């Protein structure tokens, strides 16, 4: 714990170093840009049916440079500095989450937003990255002590505090993303496998208790996924229509701008959570395969960065971010394919939505930043 | 253990990173497998679902076929057609004013509930369906539509939709024959297999019901791509044809028409023989009474008028207002739903004597010279109680002509005895009595001419061991001979009988639909015998002096060869009448029904008329004058219109004026 602050004191670190830009990872940035471009193209297709004053694709195009600048800026910041600041982020996050529960803005039956003057922020969105930093700070600080049970359990306590607060909002989707992140980071930090297995077994035992804690609509969603046909017009509507949308695309798709399901608004929210359905409808199995391939490449490249990081904190940051993104991609697409309950999880890089897109690009920035120290000291 | 906690590397570190990678790759493989299953394996299934998802059949309603009749010399007179009902509508998307402004103006202009309309507009706005067509007012009058048109510039977004609505041009005239329509019910919807939709009208009585399948057109259809939530919004031109360019749904999505439009096919028209002018005249003559008038073309059986009183206006059933009126028609007393000309029976009374005379002459029971002496009473051997003639002092020695002219009962008592009930029954059936005449309408009743078989069939099951209960008695034949007893007939049957006398003995088949025309071929009475009967019936309407005044003299018209026969149909037993001193004292509901059947020999076309006035008491006073009015009206209406004649005479004057 003391070492991190010592680093900062000893001024070996330049907090901001524009020279990092020279060490830009071409693979990672290229994949990110290609995915963003695909997102805009798919969004352009939705403009046929949505009579918004500013089309989604256009707004998304505006976010992309902002996101890129954000990512490059973060890349230039030494992530070790950010990691050392993690406890402050964490405390600020807990404060914000508590504030949401107390004075948050309510919409659609959930309280997720904080109104700060003209800005409306969603702390649960930031919580993912903040928690990754906090865990990276904590796990890198304790080092091999992670093999001891107390330190292992404390990791879960650190994660559980924001998770429970988010769950209370209620925001099942976001709360659920935190779990895999904690597991992956603990695993990468070198915890004992037996501890992980133990906690999974414990979780399975505790699951029935957790079920009773779910809100009715959340239960319905989970039930729907088990049998979508039972409730076609209610909660199963999305699932059924999304499956029709994807399935009707066939191997090669209906062609760009030729989709009917999404165009005729059978599938609501197709520009956000169900954008993959639209893509699969118009571009078919081939298009879906390409996108899944790009995501896989992105994750593999990120894991490569994690492995090559000279520091534990960098490795943990990269692993946490990869897990976060991969979980989003998996759950989002699984929802559109009808194998996961509808939980409002967007698809990184493709879904329309400024807040989430910028969070994603921050993640990319951190990955790039970790990459800049590749090969040093080793 | 690594000495530097900052250093990532520990034993097995790389393996753990690889393991995370493998988990991620496996997760991606799961997605790929699922994608394969949906898009490649189950492609067909989802493609079908997607297609049926998006295509919607938009129905284009068809106008109902017209009903044409006649009026005097005019044919193809429209009796029932479709008027364009204008519904005033509003679409928010086309309106650049505040909704309050519009509703206020509309309230001023057409008088609607401002708040209710505003609420509907707000609802559409809230549901983000600005193109939803909101009904401002249904079926606005033409004047209102004109006013809305006039102020169109101040009413953006307001327009009219035109839809066909049944119109009965002559209102209640002939209303019962045309019939009424009402909405189909749930059961009919289920059974119709998609032919009818909610809110469709269906013929419930009269021609509307009988020719439902003919009159009903074929709906057109067009296939449009449909948005998940919107409802297609059709607009119509002033003729009610739907616009198809710029088809939008309630959200404002443009809808694509996928296939060629199948236009609706209007229902087929039907032409009936009804003379609407004559029908109006006959209905007017029955005004305030309950009764029926039938006018047939005696040579063809064409039904020129079938008036039944009271009637109703079928338009009430398709008008947006008038629920109470509808209820009154359906449930009020006296029954307005039955057509008394062929759906109600009355004792035929003396009109039956014409049939008796025809049967007796044809059977050779009597001839022109056969006479019976009427002493005012008639005795059957072994029966103490005598049968009286209506004229207690008797008619003296009468032949068949006089017996018909003066309606001598005793003559026909005698004839009946010689004819026997079996032959009376046989001849009645030939003339369409006691059976349906075969009019091409629903619900014709047959009336009843009693017979041995009938009595046995009716009463034997009840009293199998008491033959006196079901045996036919000679006294019953006596009653039947003058159309009393159990005998009943419809006014239509009387008219058919009369037509046979007029046309020289042919049994006509009455019909209303021109398509059902049939030339009468079955001759029942020979020319010689018909002439005898005509003679009697002619004498009946003659006015003396010098000739003795007949019972139907009130139908007499100078210079027209009119036949007639009065009748009084006993309603209750005579005993009831005997307690009153004069006829005027008898309460109306106890009085006899008044019959008069009549015909015209020397005009074209020859017509046969049957008139029944319920509780009219005497055919001579209550019914015969009506015949006179009908005859006068009918032949006047068939002369060339007055102004036409004037025009031609003027023309000849100017063309060939001589000094």
Longest pairwise C-alpha distance within chain A: 64
Hey, what are B216's tokens? 């009903």
DSSP B488: B
Q: Does A126 touch chain B (CB under 8 A)?
A: no
How would residue A377 be classed by pLDDT, with cut points 50, 70 and 90?
Answer: low
Structure-token match 């189909």, residue found: B184
Q: In chain B, pLDDT over 90 holds for what percent of residues?
A: 20
How would residue A212 be classed by pLDDT, with cut points 50, 70 and 90?
Answer: confident
How would residue A12 be classed by pLDDT, with cut points 50, 70 and 90?
Answer: low
Q: What are φ and ψ of residue A171, in 5° steps?
A: -145, 80
Hey, what are A30's tokens? 């290229």
pLDDT tens for residues A160-174?
Answer: 899 888 877 777 778
Chain length of chain A: 378
How would residue A11 be classed by pLDDT, with cut points 50, 70 and 90?
Answer: very low
Residue A225 · residue A341 · CB < 8 Å: yes
- Nearest neighbour of A319 by CB, restricted to B20, B35, B39: B20
How would residue B463 be classed by pLDDT, with cut points 50, 70 and 90?
Answer: confident
The C-alpha atoms of residue B499 and residue B325 are separated, in whole angstroms, by: 38
Q: Which of A166, A187, A186, A183 is nearest to A175 (CA)?
A: A166
Mark yes or no for CB contact A190/B10 under 8 Å: yes
- Nearest neighbour of B20 by CB, restricted to A284, A292, A303: A303
pLDDT tens for residues A172-207?
Answer: 778 888 889 999 999 998 888 888 898 888 888 887
pLDDT tens for residues B318-377?
Answer: 776 677 888 888 887 888 888 999 999 999 888 899 999 999 999 988 888 888 888 888
Going through B236-283 in order, the beta strands assigned E by DSSP cover 248-249, 270-275
The C-alpha atoms of residue A97 and residue A166 are separated, in whole angstroms, by: 7
The C-alpha atoms of residue B5 and residue A3 are separated, in whole angstroms, by: 9
pLDDT tens for residues B545-600?
Answer: 655 667 778 888 888 888 988 888 776 655 555 666 666 667 777 788 888 999 99
Q: Residue A270, class by beta-carbon neighbours within 10 Å (0-12 exposed, 13-18 middle, 19+ buried)?
A: buried
Mean pLDDT of chain B: 82
pLDDT tops 80 at residue B250: no
Structure-token match 């090559």, residue found: A308
3-state secondary structure of B255: coil
Please state which of the ranges A9-23, A308-322, B389-403, B424-438 shows the lowest mean pLDDT: A9-23
**Cβ-based contacts under 8 A for chains A and B:** 154
A163-166: long-range contacts (C-beta < 8 A, 24 or more apart)? A165/A94, A165/A97, A165/A98, A165/A100, A165/A101, A166/A97, A166/A124, A166/A127
Chain B positions in Cβ-Cβ contact with residue A200 (cut-off 8 Å): none
Going through chain A in order, the beta strands assigned E by DSSP cover 105-107, 110-116, 119-121
pLDDT tops 90 at residue A322: yes
Mark yes or no for CB contact B35/A247 under 8 Å: no
Query: What's the average model confidence in pLDDT over A117-138?
Result: 85
pLDDT tens for residues B202-247?
Answer: 888 889 999 988 888 888 777 766 665 566 677 777 666 666 666 7
- Nearest neighbour of B38 by CB, restricted to A142, A184, A337: A337
Q: Is the dihedral of CA A314, A320, A323, A324 positive or negative?
A: negative
Q: What is the pLDDT of residue A144?
A: 84
Longest pairwise C-alpha distance within chain B: 154
pLDDT tops 60 at residue B657: no
How many other C-beta atoms can be found within 10 angstroms of the C-beta atom of residue B488?
A: 21
Concatenating the DSSP letter of every residue in A188-251 gives HHT--HHHHHHHHHHHHHHHHHHHHHS-HHHHHHHHHHH-GGGGTTTTHHHHHHHHHHHHHHTT
Q: Which of B487, B449, B469, B474 is nearest to B387 (CA)?
A: B474
pLDDT tops 60 at residue B110: yes
Interface predicted TM-score (ipTM) of this complex, two decimals: 0.89
The C-alpha atoms of residue A276 and residue B94 are separated, in whole angstroms, by: 36
The C-alpha atoms of residue A372 and residue A318 are separated, in whole angstroms, by: 12
Residue A303 · residue A322 · CB < 8 Å: yes
Concatenating the DSSP letter of every residue in B559-612 gives T--EEEEEEEE--S-HHHHHTSSSGGGS-GGGSPEEEEEEEESSSSS-EEEEEE
Question: Strands A110-116, B74-91: parallel, antiparallel or unpaired by DSSP?
Answer: unpaired
3-state secondary structure of A35: helix
Q: What is the pLDDT of residue A265?
A: 62
| Distance in angstroms between the alpha carbons of the first and the last residue of chain A | 23
For chain B, the residues whose C-beta falls within 8 A of a C-beta of chain A are 1-2, 5-8, 10, 12-14, 16-21, 24-25, 27-28, 30-32, 34-36, 38-40, 42-43, 45-47, 49-50, 53-54, 225-229, 252-253
Hey, what are B556's tokens? 């007499």
Q: What is the pLDDT of residue B2?
A: 40
Q: Which of A338, A269, A363, A376 is nearest to A75 (CA)?
A: A363
Between the alpha carbon of residue B337 and those of residues B99, B200, B288, B293, B319, the distances in Å are 47, 22, 16, 16, 18
Mark yes or no for CB contact A244/B36 under 8 Å: no
3-state secondary structure of B273: strand
- Nearest neighbour of B227 by CB, restricted to A264, A306, A338: A264
DSSP B321: S
pLDDT tens for residues B511-544?
Answer: 999 888 888 888 889 998 999 999 888 888 887 6
How many other C-beta atoms can be found within 10 angstroms of the C-beta atom of residue A255?
A: 12
Q: Which residues pair with B224 in a beta bridge?
A: B56, B257
Chain A positions in Cβ-Cβ contact with residue B32 (cut-off 8 Å): 288-289, 292
Q: Closest residue of A to B27, CA-based?
A: A330
Structure-token match 């405390």, residue found: A91
Residue B449 · residue B428 · CB < 8 Å: yes
Q: In chain A, pLDDT over 90 holds for what percent of residues?
A: 34
Q: What is the pLDDT of residue B134?
A: 84
The C-alpha atoms of residue B394 and residue B409 are separated, in whole angstroms, by: 9
Q: Which residues pair with B221 in a beta bridge?
A: B59, B262
pLDDT tops 50 at residue B624: yes
How would residue B493 be classed by pLDDT, with cut points 50, 70 and 90?
Answer: very high
How would residue A221 be classed by pLDDT, with cut points 50, 70 and 90?
Answer: low
- Nearest neighbour of B46 by CB, restricted to A247, A312, A322: A247
Mean pLDDT of chain A: 83
Q: What is the pLDDT of residue B574?
A: 57
Please state which of the ranges A113-127, A148-162, B8-22, B221-235 shows the lowest mean pLDDT: B221-235
How would residue A348 be classed by pLDDT, with cut points 50, 70 and 90?
Answer: very high
Please state which of the ranges B13-27, B379-393, B499-513 shows the lowest mean pLDDT: B379-393
How would residue A62 be classed by pLDDT, with cut points 50, 70 and 90?
Answer: confident
The C-alpha atoms of residue A201 and residue A186 are separated, in whole angstroms, by: 16
Q: What is the pLDDT of residue B546?
A: 58
The C-alpha atoms of residue B470 and residue B464 are separated, in whole angstroms, by: 9
Structure-token match 């695309």, residue found: A249
Chain A positions in Cβ-Cβ contact with residue B45 (cut-off 8 Å): 247
In terms of average pLDDT, the best of A72-81, A270-279, B132-141 is A72-81
Query: How many angstroms away from the CA of A237 is the closest CA of chain B?
Result: 12
How would residue B9 be classed by pLDDT, with cut points 50, 70 and 90?
Answer: low
Mark yes or no for CB contact A3/B5 under 8 Å: yes
Q: What is the pLDDT of residue A186?
A: 92
Select the residue from A8, A190, A323 to test the B interface by mutation, using most B Cβ atoms within 10 A.
A190
3-state secondary structure of B79: strand
Query: What's the average model confidence in pLDDT over B7-27?
Result: 85
Number of H helices and E strands in chain B, helices first, is 22, 20
Mark yes or no for CB contact B49/A248 under 8 Å: yes
pLDDT tens for residues B375-384?
Answer: 888 888 888 8
Between the alpha carbon of residue B333 and those of residues B310, B311, B328, B361, B488, the distances in Å are 10, 11, 8, 44, 22
Please state which of the ranges A299-313, B413-427, B619-633 shows the lowest mean pLDDT: B619-633
pLDDT tens for residues B602-612?
Answer: 888 899 999 99
In terms of average pLDDT, the best of A318-327, B96-105, B347-356 is A318-327
């Amino acid at each position: 714990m003391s070492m991190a602050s010592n680093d900062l004191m000893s001024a070996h670190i330049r907090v901001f170093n524009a020279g990092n830009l020279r060490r830009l990872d071409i693979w990672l940035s290229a994949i990110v840009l290609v995915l963003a471009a695909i997102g805009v193209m798919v969004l352009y297709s939705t403009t046929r049916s949505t009579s918004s004053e500013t089309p989604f694709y256009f707004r998304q195009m505006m976010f992309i440079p902002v996101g890129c600048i954000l990512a490059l800026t973060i890349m230039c910041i030494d992530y070790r500095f950010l990691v050392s600041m993690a406890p402050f982020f964490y405390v600020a996050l807990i404060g914000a989450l508590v504030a949401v529960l107390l004075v948050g803005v309510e919409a659609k039956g959930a309280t997720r937003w904080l109104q700060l003057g003209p800005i409306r922020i969603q702390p649960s969105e930031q919580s993912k990255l903040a928690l990754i930093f906090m865990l990276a700070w904590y796990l890198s600080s304790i080092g091999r002590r992670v093999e001891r049970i107390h330190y292992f359990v404390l990791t879960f306590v650190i994660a559980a505090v924001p998770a429970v607060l988010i769950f209370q909002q209620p925001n099942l989707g976001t709360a659920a993303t935190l779990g895999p992140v904690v597991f992956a980071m603990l695993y990468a930090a070198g915890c004992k496998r037996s501890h992980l297995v133990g906690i999974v077994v414990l979780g399975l035992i505790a699951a029935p208790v957790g079920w009773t804690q779910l809100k009715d609509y959340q239960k319905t969603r989970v039930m729907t996924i088990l049998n979508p046909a039972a409730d076609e017009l209610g909660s199963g509507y999305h699932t059924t229509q999304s499956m029709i949308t994807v399935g009707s695309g066939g191997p090669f798709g209906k062609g760009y701008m030729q989709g009917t399901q999404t165009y005729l608004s059978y599938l609501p929210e197709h520009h956000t959570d169900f954008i993959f359905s639209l893509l699969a409808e118009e571009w078919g199995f081939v298009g879906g395969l390409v996108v899944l391939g790009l995501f896989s490449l992105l994750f593999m490249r990120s894991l490569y960065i994690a492995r090559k990081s000279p520091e534990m904190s960098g490795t943990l940051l990269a692993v946490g971010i990869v897990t976060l993104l991969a979980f989003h991609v998996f759950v989002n697409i699984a929802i559109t394919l009808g194998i996961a309950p509808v939980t409002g999880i967007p698809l990184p890089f493709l879904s329309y939505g400024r807040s989430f897109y910028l969070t994603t690009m921050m993640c990319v920035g951190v990955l790039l930043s970790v990459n800049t120290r590749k090969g040093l000291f080793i | 253990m690594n000495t530097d906690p900052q250093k990532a590397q520990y034993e097995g570190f790389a393996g753990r990173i690889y393991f995370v990678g493998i988990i991620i790759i496996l997760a991606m493989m799961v997605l790929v497998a699922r994608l394969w299953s949906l898009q490649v394996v189950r492609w067909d299934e989802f493609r079908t679902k997607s297609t049926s998802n998006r295509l919607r059949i938009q129905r284009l309603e068809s106008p109902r076929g017209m009903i044409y009749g006649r009026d005097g010399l005019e044919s193809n007179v429209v009796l029932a057609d479709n008027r364009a009902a204008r519904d005033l509508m509003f679409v928010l998307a086309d309106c650049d004013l505040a909704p309050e402004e519009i509703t206020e103006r509309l309230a001023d202009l057409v008088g609607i509930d401002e708040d209710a309309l505003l609420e509907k507009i707000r609802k559409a706005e809230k549901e983000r369906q600005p193109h939803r067509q909101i009904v401002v007012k249904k079926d606005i009058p033409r004047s209102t539509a004109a006013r809305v048109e006039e102020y169109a510039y101040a009413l953006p977004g307001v327009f009219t939709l035109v839809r066909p609505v049944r119109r009965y041009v002559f209102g209640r005239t002939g209303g019962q024959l045309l019939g009424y329509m009402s909405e189909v019910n749930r059961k009919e919807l289920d059974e119709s297999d998609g032919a009818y939709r909610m809110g469709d009208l269906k013929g419930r009585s009269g021609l509307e019901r009988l020719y439902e399948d003919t009159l009903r057109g074929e709906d057109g259809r067009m296939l449009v791509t449909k948005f998940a939530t919107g409802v297609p919004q059709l607009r119509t031109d002033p003729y009610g044809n739907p616009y198809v360019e710029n088809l939008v749904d309630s959200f404002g999505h443009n809808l694509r028409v996928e296939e060629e439009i199948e236009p609706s096919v209007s229902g087929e028209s039907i032409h009936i023989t009804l003379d609407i002018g004559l029908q109006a005249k006959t209905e007017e003559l029955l005004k305030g009474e309950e009764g029926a008038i039938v006018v047939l073309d005696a040579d063809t059986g064409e039904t020129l008028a079938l008036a039944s009183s009271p009637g109703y206006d079928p338009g009430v059933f398709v008008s947006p207002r008038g629920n109470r009126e509808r209820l009154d028609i359906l449930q009020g007393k006296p029954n307005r739903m039955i057509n008394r000309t062929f759906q109600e029976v009355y004792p035929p009374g003396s009109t039956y004597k014409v049939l008796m005379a025809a049967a007796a002459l044809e059977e050779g029971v009597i001839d022109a010279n056969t006479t019976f002496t009427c002493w005012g009473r008639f005795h059957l051997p072994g029966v103490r109680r005598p049968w009286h003639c209506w004229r207690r002092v008797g008619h003296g020695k009468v032949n068949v002509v006089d017996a018909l002219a003066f309606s001598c009962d005793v003559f026909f008592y005698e004839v009946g005895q010689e004819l026997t009930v079996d032959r009376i029954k046989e001849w009645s059936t030939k003339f369409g009595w006691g059976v349906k005449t075969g009019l091409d309408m629903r619900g014709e009743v047959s009336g009843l001419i009693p017979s041995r078989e009938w009595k046995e069939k009716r009463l034997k099951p009840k009293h199998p061991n008491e033959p006196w209960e079901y045996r036919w008695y000679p006294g019953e034949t006596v009653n039947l001979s003058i159309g009393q007893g159990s005998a009943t007939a419809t006014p239509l049957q009387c008219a058919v009988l009369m037509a046979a006398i007029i046309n020289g003995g042919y049994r006509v088949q009455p019909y209303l639909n021109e398509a059902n025309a049939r030339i009468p071929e079955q001759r029942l009475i020979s020319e010689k015998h018909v002439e005898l009967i005509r003679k009697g019936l002619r004498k009946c309407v003659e006015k003396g002096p010098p000739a003795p005044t007949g019972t139907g003299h009130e139908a007499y018209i100078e210079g027209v060869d009119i036949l007639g026969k009065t009748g009084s149909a006993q309603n209750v037993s005579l005993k009831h009448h005997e307690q009153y001193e004069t006829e005027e004292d008898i309460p109306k509901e106890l009085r006899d029904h008044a019959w008069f059947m009549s015909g015209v020999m020397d005009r074209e076309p020859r017509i046969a008329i049957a008139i029944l006035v319920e509780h009219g008491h005497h055919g001579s006073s209550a019914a015969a004058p009506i015949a006179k009015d009908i005859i006068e009206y009918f032949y006047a209406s068939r002369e060339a219109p007055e102004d036409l004649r004037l025009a031609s005479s003027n023309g000849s004057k100017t063309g060939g004026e001589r000094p």
